[in-house]
Chain A
């Protein structure tokens, strides 16, 4: 395969990510502190208040998956005793540590100064940090976020989180960083977040156009990069989303689709899909091509909401700084119950005028995958649009069977086509 073609905003983001890895790996020279934390419900604005650099193990696993390194790391972790069925992000991380803990910039990752665990629906995150704590012997700050079991949050839940922020998280970060918490600094970061979030939502909602100027899954994972990682709350993120918005606006004006992995404009969009579940990273481009080759564009996805459901109206609010952090953590996709996920996906099908729902079920992720078939059946029932189910993995190349996935996808697209032709013609 030829070199992947990148849109200008992707190149901009690449530079930002490289800069963050540089900041992490040069901590001994700069004296900055480093935290490890997870994407869903992360507290980046708070970390910015303490000059703490943000390192995200899931993102490292994704990077290693896309760079074809995760397979060996996973096998190494299995040799160390981790089961085949355990989350492969965890094993890719553990394996990477065993292989020298080298960051994508070629320099070793330093030990984190703090593990900041915002617990938003993934039990594995807790166990993962247990392993890291054992390895690094560094302080762990846990923010417990109540699960939205009834589909909504309550004042009690919010108060509970704010209390933890005040009594545990902020004092803990002050101690690690040696910097006194300044709420005005947090407000400034939150204002920056909200600006970037406005543009992100605009970009993601542009999928309602026909042709869609974006791919809200394969392209979408790039669009969410800065906002869900170390850049939310920064001026860099504002600049990125301004640039991205202009890029997408230009495509809307010329009625162009996004760029395909081959570098052509994806204008011949035959199928509009909603996708649920994370993508496969080890065969990302091959996977993407299976869609673009068949003219299938993803107009909305749930994965681009794992770190925050901004399109449902939430914005970080500088006037209520701690409360807004609580609301953000409570509302991220992984913290929502199954009926809410069904509601969201059914709504996307209607609003984005999609042809159907495709679920990519992740073999090693029980948190995300449990109940997905039920979700599909229910969304099908409500919308009357066909669903399909494929199975791959996050970063374990052994779990990606190209022939099987392609067979199912092609069948699904043809099934949509056949349904469009209608009963009269098919009989």
Chain B
């Protein structure tokens, strides 16, 4: 089948969306942008294609009498197994890379015990991997680095202790190797891995093998790819395949909510206020100037300052009972205000609520410069997932523009890639 792909190479995350020619979303994929956009683009596309296969399995299973009821459970198992196979494959790559790095004067005469310690560590990692991908296990992250890293620290230290080796030795090798492995997209052959995942399954093969294999036999033809985001120039296709994020977010928001007239996108480096017409065509936009104050990265910085995870900021800010006024959206000054407020004994949640308000106030200024907020208003980008930012936005929109319909899609982070995919469809079909 013909597939149309949009890839949004953002500063923090890279997203991909696969569409069919009817502009139906088949799959979505996301990865961290790292320092390597080529890999990020390849990984996000691969992830979106994996997701596309799952969509096709779902359709296939739902069409067969008797499997519809178990479809979701089968899909969950299949995906877990697939991820497990992929994880083990990457572990093997990491092990080979680590062993290849055991060289140089630092290891002179100690190569053998170090290699043995690594082999034993990876054996334990592989063994434990089954638990990490077992049903019901809550993984803290889906990124290979996070999953493998935590386990390596834990098991490697124990193995070294038992072998009388300094942990530093293998930790140093790991640090060098993980960067290389992370910057290599996982090996392809998605279909082969799904077949193996299917075979690992304990479900009734006679019932599901045929529909799954039939869905797997559908060729996924990459008909047209459109790239957007800061890394777009890295994409290995011609200039006509590149669209600005502004157009992609405008069109993506229109596809999600056809009534959209104003879009706010707060990404890692930019905040954009965009006006679109009834067809999703951008009419006007304004964005932050050279200073990225108040963008997504601001929250990352605050999270680092607070020694918290980025995802924890919103929920903590939601617990605030009192608004602490933070005047600065400048990343550096906000850090100073944060320290000052903490020193004055203000509660963290109240300070965080103030910081979220500061971001949204800045966004409101950009929106007003772009011509104000019109009904309907759609909030896109990574920050749209942050409930505290959303709460402040709702308040300020109401105060300034009255009862405007505010749309926030759970898949808002994919808006740019969605617009890109829609441009890909139009490039071929129009």
Contact (A423, B281) CB under 8 Å given A411-B247, A414-B243, A415-B246: yes
User: Is B77 in contact with chain A by the CB < 8 A criterion?
Assistant: no
Min CB–CB distance B294 → chain A (angstroms): 14
How far in angstroms is the closest Cβ of chain B from A240?
37
Q: For the complex formed, measure the closest distance between the CB of A356 and the CB atoms of chain B, giving whole angstroms.
A: 11
The stretch that binds A, out of B40-48, B144-152, B282-290, is B282-290
**Other-chain residue from B247, B278, B287 in contact with A415 (beta carbon distance below 8 A):** B247
Residue B244 is within 8 A (CB to CB) of chain A in the complex: yes
B284 and A414 within 8 A (CB): no
Q: A407-B244, A407-B270, A425-B426 are in contact. Are A415 and B280 (CB under 8 A)?
A: no
Contacts of A172 in B (CB 8 A): none
The reply to whether B281 and A403 contact each other, CB–CB distance below 8 Å, is no
- Tell me the nearest residue of chain A to B371, going by C-beta: A377
A408 x B287 contact (CB < 8 A) = yes
Q: Given A407-B270, A423-B277, answer yes or no on A387-B289 (Cβ-Cβ < 8 Å).
A: no
Residue B321, interface by CB 8 Å? no
CA distance A415 to B274 in the complex (A): 11
Q: Which residue of A lies closest to B283 (CB)?
A: A386
Cα A408 to Cα B369 in complex, Å, equals 15
The smallest beta-carbon distance between A397 and chain B, in angstroms, is 12
Given contacts A401-B289, A426-B279, contact A411 B244 (CB under 8 A): yes
Interchain CA distance A410-B240 in the complex, whole Å:
12
With an 8 A cutoff between CB atoms, is A427 at the interface?
yes
Is there contact, CB below 8 Å, between B284 and A380?
yes
Shortest distance between the CB of A394 and any CB in chain B (Å): 15
**B257 surroundings in chain A (CB, below 8 A):** none
A contact residues around B277 at 8 Å (CB): 423
User: Within 8 Å of chain B (Cβ to Cβ): is A320?
Assistant: no
Decide if B245 touches A411 in the complex (CB within 8 Å): yes
A419 to B276, CA, bound (A): 11
Tell me, in angstroms, the Cα distance from A410 to B247 when the chains sit together: 10
The docked-state distance in angstroms from the alpha carbon of A423 to that of B277 is 9
A425 touches B284 (CB 8 A): no
Q: B430 on the interface (CB 8 Å rule)?
A: yes
B202-222: which residues lie under 8 A (CB-CB) from chain A? none
Let me know if A414 and B289 touch, CB within 8 A: no
B301 within 8 A of A: no
Contact partners of B287 in chain A: CB under 8 A: 404, 407-408
**Binary CB contact string for chain A from 79 to 115 against chain B (1 if under 8 A, 0 otherwise):** 0000000000000000000000000000000000000
- Point out the residue from A377, A380, A391 that lies within 8 Å of B289, measured CB to CB: A391
Q: List CB contacts (< 8 Å) of A312-345 with chain B.
A: none
Give the residue among A373, A401, A418 with the most B Cβ atoms within 10 A.
Answer: A418
Chain B residue nearest to A410 (CB atoms) is B244
Residue of B nearest to A389 (CB): B286
Closest residue of chain A to B430, judged by CB? A425
From known contacts A377-B371, A425-B426, A426-B426, infer whether A415 and B282 are also in contact, taking CB-CB under 8 Å: yes
Cα distance A388–B270 in the bound complex, in angstroms: 16
CA A427 to CA B283, docked complex, whole Å: 14
Residues of B within 8 A of A421 (CB): 430
Cβ of B167 under 8 Å from chain A: no
Q: Report if A399 contacts B (CB, 8 A).
A: yes
Q: Are A419 and B281 in contact (CB under 8 A)?
A: yes
* Residues of chain A lying within 8 A (CB to CB) of residue B224: none
- Smallest CB gap from B289: residue in A: A391
A418–B290 contact, CB under 8 A? no
Please state if B371 and A427 are interface contacts (CB–CB under 8 Å).
no
- Give Cα A408–Cα B272 distance, bound, in whole angstroms: 10
Q: Does A404 contact B289, Cβ atoms closer than 8 Å?
A: yes
**Measured between alpha carbons, how far is A418 from B278 in the docked complex, in Å?**
13
Bound complex: CA of A427 vs CA of B426, how far in Å?
Answer: 9
State in angstroms the CA–CA spacing of A78 and B426 once bound together.
53
Please indicate the chain B residues that have their CB under 8 angstroms from the CB of A377 in the complex. 371
Instruction: Determine if A414 and B426 form an interchain contact, defined as CB atoms under 8 angstroms apart.
Output: no
Q: Mark A350-386, 1 if CB is under 8 A from B, else 0.
A: 0000000000000100000000010001001000001
Residues of B within 8 A of A388 (CB): 285
Tell me if A415 and B290 are in contact (CB < 8 A). Answer: no
Given A403-B230, A426-B426, A427-B280, A414 and B244 touching (CB < 8 A)?
A: yes
Contacts of A427 in B (CB 8 A): 279-280
Known contacts A380-B284, A426-B279: does B243 contact A401 (CB below 8 Å)?
A: no
Q: Are B284 and A386 in contact (CB under 8 A)?
A: yes
How far, in whole Å, are A418 and B283 apart by their CA atoms in the complex? Answer: 10
B283 neighbours in A (Cβ, 8 Å): 386, 415, 419
- A404's nearest neighbour on chain B, judged by CB, is B290
* Complex Cα gap A426–B280 (Å): 7
CB-contacts of B79-126 with A (<8 A):
none
Closest B residue by C-beta to A402: B290
Given contacts A391-B290, A399-B290, A427-B279, contact A411 B246 (CB under 8 A): yes
Contacts of B369 in A (CB 8 A): 373, 389
Known contacts A377-B371, A423-B279, A426-B279; A418 and B247 CB within 8 A of each other? yes
Determine if B281 and A418 form an interchain contact, defined as CB atoms under 8 angstroms apart.
yes
Residue from the set A377, A387, A408, A423 with the largest chain B CB neighbour count within 10 Å: A408
Please, what's the 1-or-0 string for B269-311, where 1 marks a CB less than 8 Å from any CB in chain A?
Answer: 0100000011111111111111000000000000000000000
In the complex, A418 Cα to B254 Cα: how many Å?
Answer: 14
Q: B426 near A415 (CB under 8 angstroms)?
A: no
- The answer for the CA separation of A121 and B43 in the assembled complex, in Å, is 57
Q: Are B279 and A411 interface neighbours, CB within 8 A?
A: no
Q: For residue A380, which residues in chain B have a CB less than 8 angstroms away from its CB? A: 284
Chain B residues with CB under 8 A of A410: 244
Alpha-carbon distance between A403 and B426 when the two chains are bound, in angstroms: 28
A426→B281 contact, CB < 8 A: yes
Alpha-carbon distance between A426 and B245 when the two chains are bound, in angstroms? 16
List B contacts of A373 (CB < 8 A).
369
Bound-state CA distance A399–B289 (Å) is 10
Is the beta-carbon distance between B290 and A401 smaller than 8 angstroms?
yes
Nearest chain-B residue to A408 (Cβ)?
B287
CA distance A415 to B247 in the complex (A): 7
Using a CB-CB cutoff of 8 Å, which residues 373-430 of chain B contact chain A? 426, 430
Residue of A nearest to B272 (CB): A411
B21 CB → nearest A CB, Å: 16
Residue of A nearest to B369 (CB): A373
CA–CA, A414 and B423, complex, Å = 12
Chain B hits for A407, CB < 8 A: 230, 244-245, 270, 287
A75 to B290, CA, bound (A): 19
**Residues of A close to B289: CB separation below 8 A:** 363, 391, 401, 404
Chain B residues near A391: list those with CB within 8 A. 289-290
Question: Would you give the shortest CB distance from A78 to chain B, in whole angstroms?
Answer: 18
Complex Cα–Cα for A387 and B282 (A):
11
B267 to chain A, nearest CB (A): 11
Complex A-B, nearest 9 residue pairs according to Cβ-Cβ distance, in ascending order: A401-B290, A411-B244, A411-B246, A427-B279, A423-B279, A391-B289, A426-B279, A415-B282, A404-B290
Additional A-B contact list (5), CB under 8 Å, known A407-B287, A411-B282, A415-B244: A363-B289, A404-B290, A407-B245, A411-B246, A419-B281
Binding site for A on B (CB under 8 A): 230, 243-247, 251, 270, 277-290, 369, 371, 426, 430
24 A–B contact pairs at CB < 8 A? A363-B289, A377-B371, A386-B284, A389-B369, A391-B290, A403-B230, A404-B270, A404-B289, A404-B290, A407-B244, A411-B244, A411-B245, A411-B246, A411-B247, A411-B285, A414-B247, A415-B244, A415-B246, A415-B247, A415-B281, A415-B282, A415-B285, A418-B247, A426-B280
